[in-house]
């Protein structure tokens, strides 16, 4: 098979995560020009802030991300923090809790690379399916179901249930409201006990009930991948072991809200210097 590309995990807020990652991405572009570069970028949040200069670091590293990354999955610490508190009843989520949830998303996104699947089978396909223009490459990730073991005993979640959950803003990994934006592309990556008939029915329901708006210059289909490998859970972890799960990757104009927040924080700091 040979080398397909690179997955880079880094934060926007820290010095190493922003500075070193920028240098690394630039070098990879020079040394491996044609290979795909996918990023999982941790967007800073006030609750788990580690540095005063996070807005500076974030703005500066975004410049490199725009030029050198092919597809960048944003993960907002604040959104993950809230999901852990609300869905998993963890009063004060730690980095371990946050990372385990992020790991589930990474696992879902890379499942088709690791097991037999029909969509996003290699790294270049993510770009093809999610990125309409090279610089608009920041898909929003949403994962469902995020439920604790206690709740899982009482709930049998169907394909329709978990699909609907993906369109709830509070299940997203970045704080923004897609209802106020328009979709450019949507990938639904299912895993476990899922059949195409149920998926088609679930999507039809979502389309009629949610009033999902696509931009008028893009094909309006939902790309669907089904992987029969069931989701795995960490023993003694926060998440329940479930029979089926879905990760939705959507390229939406609503992500601009996240950038606007960052810009605002940058401007506030810069004006006080």
Reference 25, options 62, 58, 50, 54; nearest CA is: 62
Residues 158-181: pLDDT tens digits? 999 999 999 999 999 999 999 899
Q: Rounded CA gap, 39 and 50, in Å?
A: 21
Catalytic residue among 39, 125, 168, 257: 125
Residues 184-210: pLDDT tens digits? 999 999 999 999 999 999 999 998 887
Half-sphere exposure of 180 (CA within 13 A, CB side): 9
Q: Which residues lie below 8 Å from residue 118, measured CB to CB, with a gap of 6+?
A: 112, 225, 226
Residues 36-91: pLDDT tens digits? 999 999 988 766 677 788 989 999 999 899 999 999 998 988 899 999 999 999 99
Q: Rounded CA gap, 31 and 21, in Å?
A: 15
Element (H, E) at 94: none
Global confidence as pTM: 0.91
Ordered by where they begin, the domains of the chain are: 5-271 (3.40.50.1440)
CB 177 within 8 A of CB 169: yes
pLDDT at 252: 95
Q: Rounded CA gap, 14 and 77, in Å?
A: 13
pLDDT at 155: 73
With 90 as the cut, is the pLDDT of residue 20 above it? yes
Q: Rounded CA gap, 201 and 54, in Å?
A: 43
CA angle, residues 143, 87, 197, in degrees to nearest 5: 40
Active site residue 125: yes
Residue 229 burial (CB count, 10 A): 14
Share of the chain above pLDDT 70, in %: 98
- Average pLDDT of the chain to the nearest whole number: 90
């Amino acid at each position: 098979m040979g080398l397909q590309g690179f997955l880079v995990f880094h934060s926007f807020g820290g010095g190493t995560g922003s500075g070193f990652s920028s240098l690394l991405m630039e070098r990879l572009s020079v040394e491996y020009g044609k290979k795909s570069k996918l990023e999982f970028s941790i967007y800073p949040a006030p609750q788990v802030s580690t540095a005063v200069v996070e807005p500076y670091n974030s703005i500066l590293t975004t410049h490199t991300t725009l030029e050198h990354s092919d597809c960048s999955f944003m993960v907002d610490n604040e959104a993950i923090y809230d999901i852990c508190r609300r869905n998993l009843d963890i009063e004060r989520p730690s980095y371990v809790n946050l990372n385990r949830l992020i790991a589930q998303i990474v696992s879902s996104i890379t499942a088709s690379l690791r097991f037999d699947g029909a969509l996003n089978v290699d790294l270049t396909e993510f770009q093809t399916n999610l990125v309409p223009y090279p610089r608009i490459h920041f898909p929003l990730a949403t994962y469902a179901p995020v439920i604790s073991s206690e709740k899982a005993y009482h709930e049998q979640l169907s394909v329709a249930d978990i699909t609907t959950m993906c369109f709830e803003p509070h299940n997203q990994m970045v704080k923004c409201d897609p209802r106020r934006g328009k979709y450019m592309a949507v990938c639904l990556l299912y895993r476990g006990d899922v059949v195409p008939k149920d998926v088609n029915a679930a999507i039809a329901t979502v389309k009629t009930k949610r009033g999902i708006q696509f931009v008028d210059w893009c094909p309006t289909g939902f790309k669907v991948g089904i992987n029969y490998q069931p989701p795995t859970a960490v023993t003694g972890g926060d998440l329940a072991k479930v029979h089926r799960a879905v990760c939705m990757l959507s390229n939406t104009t609503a992500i601009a809200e996240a950038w606007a927040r960052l810009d605002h924080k940058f401007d506030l700091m810069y004006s006080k210097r």
